[in-house]
């Protein structure tokens, strides 16, 4: 089993930055996609950013393009999400996912619950 532990969340003012980390207990043996999802209060969980582990191609939600950057350090088995220019609407619980069979197909993101491994989440709160 692969355990994922997120960290780096917190409270910041609008315009601020945070870097989330997702440490994996071991490199996922199956699947080639890892990513970040978020769930805001009263809303459905949505994909934020995903990355192919075997080529590095990345995908971003339109709402975060140009502000967020996803990256993977294979040597450390750690996935990152750099978040700049944060907005109050970025407030959510952020979840890491790993072991996806793909990131995006036909413009459709692999749903969070179809990844093989998930973390418990880290809260991000952005105040105006």
Does residue 55 surpass a pLDDT of 90? no
Q: Report d(CA 87, CA 23) in Å as an integer.
A: 25
Does residue 3 surpass a pLDDT of 90? yes
Does residue 12 surpass a pLDDT of 90? yes
Q: Report d(CA 123, CA 48) in Å as an integer.
A: 14
Which pLDDT score, from 0 to 100, does residue 9 have? 98
What string of DSSP letters covers 83-121? E-S--GGG-EEEEEEEEES-SEETTEEPPGGGSSEE---
Total H helices, total E strands in the chain: 0, 13
The predicted model gives 59-77 an average pLDDT of: 97
The predicted model gives 15-38 an average pLDDT of: 95
Nearest CA to 87 out of 71, 70, 67 is that of 67
Phi-psi group of 75: left, alpha or beta (phi > 0 → left; psi -120 to 50 → alpha; rest → beta): alpha
Q: Rounded to the nearest 10 degrees, how much is the dihedral formed by the CA atoms of 25, 26, 27, 28?
A: -80
Which pLDDT score, from 0 to 100, does residue 65 have? 98
**What is the residue-averaged pLDDT of the chain?**
96
Q: Specify the residue for token string 């934020």.
A: 48
Which pLDDT score, from 0 to 100, does residue 28 have? 87
Which pLDDT score, from 0 to 100, does residue 56 have? 83
Does residue 97 surpass a pLDDT of 90? yes
Which pLDDT score, from 0 to 100, does residue 128 have? 95
The predicted model gives 56-70 an average pLDDT of: 96
**Percent of the chain scored above 90 by pLDDT?**
95
Q: Report d(CA 87, CA 64) in Å as an integer.
A: 10
């Amino acid at each position: 089993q692969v355990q994922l532990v997120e960290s780096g969340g917190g409270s910041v003012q609008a315009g601020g930055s945070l870097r989330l980390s997702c440490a994996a207990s071991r490199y996922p043996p199956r699947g080639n996609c890892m990513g970040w999802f978020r769930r805001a209060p009263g809303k459905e969980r949505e994909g934020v950013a995903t990355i192919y582990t075997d080529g590095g191609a990345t995908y971003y939600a339109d709402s975060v393009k140009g502000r967020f950057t996803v990256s993977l350090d294979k040597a450390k088995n750690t996935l990152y999400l750099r978040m700049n220019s944060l907005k109050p609407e970025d407030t959510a619980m952020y979840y890491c996912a790993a072991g996806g069979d793909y990131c995006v197909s036909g413009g459709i993101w692999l749903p969070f619950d179809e990844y093989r491994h998930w973390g418990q989440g880290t809260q991000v709160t952005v105040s105006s």
